[in-house]
Amino acid sequence: MRKNLEVTMCQENSSQLPKRFSIKDRFRGFYPVVVDVETAGFNPETDALLEVAMMTMTMDDNGYLQPDEIMSANIRPFPNSNIEPSNIAFLGIDPFDESRNLQDERVAVLPMFKAISKKMKKEGCTRAILVGHNGFFDLSFIHALAKRLNYKRCPFHQFTVFDTASLAGLVYGQTVLARACTAAGIEFEDDKAHGAKYDTLMECKLFCSIFNRYTLFAGFPDPIEQTLLDFRAHLKDKEDPEKTPDSCKTE
């Protein structure tokens, strides 16, 4: 891992027992990764990417998700990229301030891609799926970056995301990240908002809260393959004339 790539372990899994549940089975081979980007505009093709953070999750023996590892970097704007003054004023940063430990996109993000691919394969998954607040926006910048770098092994699904804004609106009635976290009982520090690393951590906690709340309520669902087999067997029973109510009548 590159020297300037910030890696923080949030929680270690001390259990040595075999996992009863797996991310692979729960998400149909997808590996959820929380991602947040801060940008100098809204056009992923032309506007500069300024900050990026990615966070993985682990699943415990009871099928609950918890934060795992976070990777973050401040990005040096790519050559000839557009920078909207209004976005910079909103973020309150100087995109060319080298004291922020700026890194070129390739140096900063490719190690993240490779680390995620390694974890994804370890879990037996085939594709990472982006988790983010209005995640389609983050995904568009991630894919635009991969295209600029001509990187063919971007681990993220081309278009599917788990959007925490939509999920929080459904579960907690709040779509703003700070309010959704508060509704979920997660402490949110407003003065740290709109930084990629902090927002990624909060989005990860929010997603875990929603996922674990559902799992606690509904239980860990059976694999979809078994559900389909059971449903097809049910349909077959309904179509079997020997098992219809009429077949039970006596003459």
Q: Which of 32, 108, 26 is CA-nearest to residue 75? A: 108
Please tell me the total number of residues recorded for the chain in this structure.
251
Distance between CA atoms of residues 246 and 251, nearest Å: 11
Residue ranges for the binding site for Mg(2+)? 36, 38, 194, 199
For residue 212, what is the DSSP state? H
Q: Which residues contact 163 (CB under 8 A, 6 or more apart)?
A: 132, 133, 134, 135, 136
Residue 114 phi, psi dihedral angles, 5° rounding:
-70, -40
Residues in binding site = 36, 38, 194, 199
Name the 3-class secondary structure at 56.
Answer: strand
Active site residues per annotation: 194
Encoding tokens for residue 61? 């023996």
* Burial (CB count within 10 angstroms: exposed 0-12, middle 13-18, buried 19+), residue 148: middle
